[in-house]
Structure 1
Amino acid sequence: MANFDQDQLKQLAKGSSKAFQLIFDRYYSELIHIAEYYMKDAKQVEDVIQDVFLQLWEKRSKLKIHTTLRAYLVRSVQNKCIDKLRRNTLSDKYQDDQKFKLREAILMQSYADNSLGVLYEKELKEKLVDALEKLPEKCLMTFQLSRDEGMKNADIAKEMGISEKAVERNMTRSLKILRRELSEYLSSIVL
């Protein structure tokens, strides 16, 4: 672990708010970007980051980190995002969409720590691109507006000049095709 991290963690354990502020300033931006990968909603992203730093502060005196502080914080953000996606899956009316995001998040997390993870992630991205090319034009456009642009169904419907029901059908069809095409990558994940 870097000397900076070790020094700040020692000070943090003693209750130093200055050490906490230095850690926050050093890692905040990076953690925001990581949370944004998992979640599109800015409020949820901010909530996750706030929860991670609150937990760091609350557990400061008992904290035992066996990796780098950065790795600990990144893993904490990933876990919080996955937990939030799990809860959203139960309450969100678009359960298929949330399950797909959750599976993708779990898959990415599970391979992020090992040396094959980079190769696997590259292969998965290539498979995802191939799978997206198999989507019908309207489904692909709907999927991209939802995922890449973060648009809501009502906005997509207006943009494409179709009904919200048609948007929902396009998303359902897109997710069904993507699940089928990416099944070898997602099948090992049990929800």
Structure 2
Amino acid sequence: MNIVLASILGYLFGSIPFALVIGKVFYKTDIRQHGSGNLGGTNAGRTLGAKAGVSVILFDVLKGVIAMLIVSFFSKEAIIYAGFFTTLGHCFPVFANFKGGKAVSTAFGFLIGISIFLTQNYVFDFIIPLGIFFVLLFLSKMVSFSSMIALACATVLLYVTQSNIQVSIAFTIITLIVIYRHKENISRILNKTERKITWM
């Protein structure tokens, strides 16, 4: 029962489309009609500006962390389900016709939750992948490329640094979903037409 409750809670938290909420409430704009149409921080930033983009990223990260925190009060075993389903909820949100974002920020939130509530290995499970993301972003100027590689590295580190195979498998699935949802970005990267950031 705890696993079911954690999964439902995580999915509902993940389904909150902060990019859509912030766009409509503060900017009177539906970002699904602009840019890539994606309900994520990158499109929010490009469509609405840096403040909106950062806000969406922050809230999308916190979705997973908060869901996992709530579940930690009643079931340590179910924490992983809360984070996993938060990320799925972000991809397929019930509150936005099941058309969500690519889940990079929420996946990083899941990773933070894993390091805080399950492994307590902050350096290898979160800080190093985050560092890899920013180094690659500085070198490539591509958010998509940096995100996918950083999450893939996080997956490998989870297998190496901790013994809970359930955690590693759950994050592997999330990483594969994130990569799949970037299939168009991957095509543009290979064709050298992927959009690059200009602020770094």
- What TM-score results when the alignment is normalised by the length of structure 1? 0.34
The higher relative CO (CA closer than 8 Å, separation ≥ 6) is in 2
